[in-house]
Amino acid sequence: MKKIIFLFLMFSAMLFAKWEVGTSYTEDGKTASTFTTSEAKTESSLIISVVLEGSDGYSFINIKNKDIKKGDNLKLDIRDRAGNPVIYNIFRGDIKDGEVLIIDRQTDRSDRLVKMLLSGQSAKLYNSNELSATFNLNKLKKFMRKNVGFSDWYKYKLRNREKK
């Protein structure tokens, strides 16, 4: 009986991902729509921010975890809807103590990562092959579509590349 309850609780936590939608501001004063999910066990959070001001908009991803140190070897193991792994190796230049900040407007690296996260069911953060955090990506696409789906950024950088 204990195993059944434990499995139900684990399944419930995965099924009912909590996404918070909010607003923040960039260093240059632009408004960003934010999409945040957290993992209480490891005190970690995944924040996707989308700036719609400007000609075409851009995104950036922030991962916070108290155990992250500059120079760590980090990667995200993103499981797509079919359960297949998509590995994203995080650049060392994106890593600071306590966080990862991925923003690259010239190569659209952050937009590509957002696209991977939108098509995923979960993302696991690994530090040198040791699991640091797990993020449930369920309902992310729904919240993003509802809040930024009207924008050119969503229409031209994400939607035209995604399967329906």
> Tens digits of per-residue pLDDT, 93-106?
999 999 999 998 88
Q: What gap in Å lies between CA 107 and CA 58, rounded to an integer?
A: 11
Q: Which of 8-17, 38-47, 51-60, 144-153 has the lowest mean pLDDT?
A: 8-17
pLDDT of 11 above 50: no
With CA atoms as reference, report the closest residue to 35 among 63, 55, 11. 63
> Using 50, 70 and 90 to split pLDDT, how confident is the model at 157?
confident
| φ, ψ at 150 (rounded to 5°) | -80, -15
The rounded mean pLDDT for the chain is: 86
Can you tell me the distance from the alpha carbon of 92 to that of 54, in angstroms, rounded to the nearest whole number? Answer: 28
CA 60, CA 75: separation in Å to the nearest integer?
A: 16
pTM of the model: 0.84
Lookup: tokens for 84: 């297949």
Contacts of 96 (CB under 8 A, 6+ apart): 68, 70
